[in-house]
A and B are shown apart, each in its own frame.
Chain A
């Protein structure tokens, strides 16, 4: 277990060892060489690009006993103590967990005192956007009148969440994601130094799998070395990454083209049988569909030497551009939903079933409506195995992207669909899916509010319009919501609300809840409002009672509708209405 992972062993200890951030390094090194120092730096960039690594090198550059330098010596006591993580004047705070320092605010308040051992007191604050308000204030106090001996090095993955007051006082550097080429080159150097043999194709796979993060790349390389028993070979790395052999993907696509569900599942099982990753499979499938869509739009888009070129062209001819679009989007969403399925296999096959079931809307008929409107064309369904009944055509099988990029030829719309952050958690058309009165279940569940959440909030009224339930729905009430739900509005005069609560719910009519409710209403209308609550034997029109009645009506309606349904009638007729299943039946 003495083995030290490569990511730690190869952690850069000076600017020269850093890979891929030349623009930042050059600026920083210049500044340090000329002692042009700023009192606060902000390093931004995605995870694993080297923010904290650079911050620590900066701390050494500032405190090295050879003087402020772009080339910290690495051997003096300041340098070695910083490397070992026990330099008294370097305070590392992780704002995401508040670890290291229990009371950040106090620590920041202490910034005014001189450093104990070093030249500067250096504060490295990681994920700074997650600092508490009081901690930010303490930091601002120092930033506004910085003592000469204090340096802040802030790092964040999310600079937009850092208060402007802080941003404006920092010298900002944005770190770039590593390119696959940079990663591949660096991995090669590491392996040469470690005297481990490797195949170039293996590094190529790893370079792409690292998604721009050198730390991830080194971690993957570690895994690859262990997996390959000390060698890094392409076949082993492919297997380790669960990278899917493209031929499996074409089997899936062929089954889709043939609209053959059994064949589709067989192809999925082949992937499962090889122990490949479903996530990787969906990602690769999406990538492939993107290439197919490209070729459909720009026939010369593929490199001539691409080994799978012929297969791509074959599928591109067999499916319409709308199909390619749709499949792409379903693949992307299916990948996001994998963790929510009963298991990954089910998540994967459900995604394939979705592709199978939805035919595209003919070009030109795509709904151009904005999301939120209910205009969804009716994609014809194809149900290959089960008996196909006309009834299986539904109006809300809305898998069509509501932003309908396919109808604007000339663009390359496929990417945009997947990166649509607003809808990344839902299906593109979910927000615009038909929500007639029948499918409105009354009480809003979080997943039914997505269209509402996307819409801009309506302007706030200044006067109460008499709709008590409507008003309550707008308020954030917390526990006081229990009072609101059981309070019937008797009348409303001026800014005063007369409420009645039944005796049985007296317990929720506390002074506390009344005050909370009053505050919430006052906040909503922007001026003080009054509540008068009386307790009476019973009520008839509280929001809770109304909702209860609506649910009962909804139930009746549902039962009636389902019993009149021809399909269900068949069920009732053929199976005697109720089917009593034995507790567990043998196979």
Chain B
């Protein structure tokens, strides 16, 4: 159930080389979609395994069986609450958050005596979703944890963690798999064009797997088609359509950022990273690489504001207008 992904063996061995020196707080970092949570769970399982001296969870002892059944009394997984649904069944546009209450409950768990062997393991994923109060409460738990308490934090964006939390953990970056390993894994998972989906997600295999069957594929494709054809870009219409999809604004901004990145990168260095399937269109637009650098800045700001309760339609309009602005010729104004 929690076997490692094939590309994680090396990291696993490196981490366990000094097993007796494993700290009480470990921070696993790396881009989203490379299997950090799986790695964390595997490690939690190993720590709770009751067969002495094993380098892998034995799978047979009582600890392992509890764990496999998902109800080991000395294990906690802290993840953000699911997006709430209101009466109409619509998902509220809300950033997933680990609230302070969850961390307070955790304190009780950590401070109770363990049920089995003295080890109590907590996995927090993604740790950067703790809100400010939660993070500060967690900090206190990290600072003076009772013996036997182990924390494994998982972060896609470790810079967003409180620096004080960071400095109390040992950071362990998980590596991005090499393309070959990732491709064969995706192929084994039944993905038809693994190389392409890997590109879409910057090389992260789990994200690529999601990309291959994401419900929003059609929307992204439609948006890219519009972007590829600026002469007929109906900003207001597209913004309206996008709003109706109720997609996460950050996700759409991500697509736009990747599009902008590829145009700039192709124009200035000859490389495409994300959308090799759009090479011809990108090539045409890449003569505008330099002005599109400006657009990239706009997108960065939009990404930062993506979780503010702004009207998504206006955000999309503003970004698409900015795209057209950047593409349009402008003469140098005399000083």
Contact surface of A with B, Cβ cutoff 8 Å = 1-5, 7-8, 47-48, 85, 94, 96-100, 127, 213, 215-216, 219, 222-223, 225-226, 229-230, 242, 261-262, 264-265, 275, 279, 337-346, 349-350, 353-354, 356-357, 365, 375, 377-378, 381, 383-387, 389, 391-397, 425-427, 430, 433, 438-439, 441, 443, 445-448, 551-552, 554-555, 558-559, 561-563, 565-569, 571-572, 575, 577-581, 583-587
Q: From B55-63, B64-72, B321-329, give the one contacting chain A.
A: B321-329
* CB pair B329 A395 closer than 8 Å: no
B160 proximity list for chain A (CB < 8 A):
339
**Which of A393, A427, A566, A575 touches B297 (beta carbons < 8 Å)?**
A427
What is the bound-complex CA distance between A85 and B107, given in angstroms?
15
In angstroms, how far is the closest chain B Cβ from the Cβ of A567? 6
Q: List 15 A-B contacts (CB under 8 A).
A: A97-B100, A225-B18, A265-B265, A265-B269, A341-B261, A346-B261, A378-B332, A384-B268, A386-B289, A387-B287, A445-B305, A446-B305, A566-B329, A581-B225, A584-B193
When C-beta atoms are compared, the residue in chain B nearest to A561 turns out to be B328
- A213/B167 contact (C-beta < 8 A), A339-B157, A378-B333, A443-B314 known: yes
Residues of B within 8 A of A213 (CB): 167
Q: In this assembly, does B93 line the interface, its C-beta being within 8 Å of a C-beta of chain A? A: no
Contact B290 A394 (CB under 8 A): yes
- Excluding A345-B273, A587-B195, 15 further A-B contacts by CB distance (< 8 Å) are A1-B150, A5-B23, A94-B139, A97-B137, A97-B139, A219-B169, A338-B159, A346-B261, A378-B332, A385-B266, A387-B287, A441-B318, A445-B310, A583-B221, A586-B196
Q: Which residues of A contact B333 (CB under 8 A)?
A: 378, 395
Q: Name the distance in Å between B335's Cβ and chain A's nearest Cβ.
A: 7
* B310 close to A357 (CB less than 8 A): no
A-B pairs with lowest CB-CB distance, top 4: A97-B136, A447-B301, A261-B269, A96-B136
Interface pair B47/A397, CB less than 8 Å apart: no
Beyond A386-B268, A581-B228, whether A350 also contacts B261 by CB under 8 A is yes
Which A residues are in CB contact (< 8 Å) with B195? 587
Contact of A215 with B167 in the complex, beta carbons under 8 Å = yes
- For B267, give the chain A residue with the smallest CB separation: A386
Bound-state CA distance A565–B311 (Å) is 30
Segment 247-301 of B: residues with Cβ below 8 Å from A: 254, 257-258, 261, 264-271, 273-274, 276-278, 280-281, 284, 286-291, 293-294, 296-298, 300-301
Chain A residues in 8 Å Cβ range of B77:
none
A349 to B262, CA, bound (A): 11
Option from B148, B173, B280, B335 in Cβ contact (under 8 Å) with A377: B335
Given contacts A342-B257, A391-B287, A394-B294, contact A447 B302 (CB under 8 A): yes
Partner of A581, one of B278, B298, B301, B331: B278
Report yes or no: A353 in contact with B265, Cβ–Cβ below 8 A. Answer: yes
User: How does the 8 Å CB contact mask read for B138-181 relative to A, with 1 for contact and 0 for none?
Assistant: 01100010011010000001011001100111110101000000
CB-defined contacts of B269 to chain A, threshold 8 Å:
261-262, 264-265, 349, 353, 356, 384-385
Query: How many B residues touch A, CB cutoff 8 Å?
Result: 113
CB-based contact B324/A562 at 8 Å:
yes
Complex Cα distance A439/B318, Å? 9
A223–B229 CB distance below 8 A:
no
State how many angstroms separate the Cβ of B128 from the closest Cβ of chain A: 10
Contact call A554/B321, Cβ cutoff below 8 A: yes
Q: In this assembly, does B112 line the interface, its C-beta being within 8 Å of a C-beta of chain A?
A: no
Name B's A-contacting residues (CB within 8 A).
Answer: 17-18, 20-25, 31, 47, 100, 104, 107, 119, 132-137, 139-140, 144, 147-148, 150, 157, 159-160, 163-164, 167-171, 173, 175, 193, 195-196, 202, 204, 217-218, 221, 224-225, 228-236, 254, 257-258, 261, 264-271, 273-274, 276-278, 280-281, 284, 286-291, 293-294, 296-298, 300-305, 308, 310-311, 314-315, 317-318, 321-322, 324-325, 327-333, 335
Q: Is the CB of A445 within 8 A of B318?
A: yes
Taking a contact as CB atoms under 8 Å apart, the answer to whether B196 and A342 are in contact is no
Q: Return chain A residues, CB-CB under 8 Å to B202.
A: 342-343, 345-346
Q: Residues of A contacting B23 with CB < 8 Å?
A: 3, 5, 222, 226
Contacts of A47 in B (CB 8 A): 163-164, 167
A587:B232 contact, CB within 8 angstroms: no
CB distance from A239 to the nearest CB of B (A): 11
Q: Is the CB of A395 within 8 A of B225?
A: no
Choose one: A94, A279, A357, A566; the contact of B289 (CB below 8 Å). A357
CA distance A222 to B23 in the complex (A): 8
B327 touches A567 (CB 8 A): yes
Nearest-CB distance from B248 to chain A (Å)? 14
CB pair B18–A230 under 8 Å, yes or no, is: yes
What's the Cα separation between A216 and B168 when bound, in Å? 7
Give Cα A173 to B72, complex, Å: 48
The residues of B that contact A566 with a CB separation of less than 8 Å are 329
A85, A265, A339: residue with the most chain B Cβ atoms closer than 10 Å? A339
User: Do B322 and A441 touch (CB < 8 A)?
Assistant: yes
Q: Which of A338, A339, A378, A389 contacts B287 (CB 8 A)?
A: A389
Task: State A49–B25 Cα separation when bound (angstroms).
Answer: 20
Cross-chain contact A394 with B330 (CB below 8 angstroms) = yes
- Of the candidates B148, B235, B303, the one whose C-beta lies within 8 Å of that of A555 is B235
Contact pick for A562, options B167, B231, B332, CB 8 Å: B231
Q: Of all chain B residues, which has the CB nearest A385?
A: B270
Once bound together, how far apart are the Cα atoms of A378 and B335, in whole Å? Answer: 9
Q: What residue of chain B has the Cβ atom nearest to residue A446's Cβ?
A: B305
In the complex, which of the residues B229, B297, B317 contacts A579, with contact meaning CB atoms closer than 8 Å? B229
Q: In whole angstroms, how far apart are the Cα atoms of A584 and B194 in the complex? A: 12
Contact B287 A98 (CB under 8 A): no
Q: Across the interface, which residues of A come within 8 angstroms of B193, CB to CB? A: 584, 586-587
Please tell me if the beta carbons of B273 and A346 are within 8 angstroms of each other in the complex. yes
Q: B31 touches which one: A344, A441, A552 (CB < 8 A)?
A: A344
Asked if A396 contacts B175 (CB within 8 A), the reply is no
Contact of B231 among A8, A354, A571 (CB under 8 A): A571
Are A265 and B290 within 8 A (Cβ)?
no
Contacting residues, chain A, for B302 (C-beta < 8 A): 445, 447
* Chain B min CB distance to A440 (Å): 9
In the complex, A398 Cα to B256 Cα: how many Å?
21
A7 touches B168 (CB 8 A): yes
Q: Is the CB of B265 within 8 A of A585?
A: no
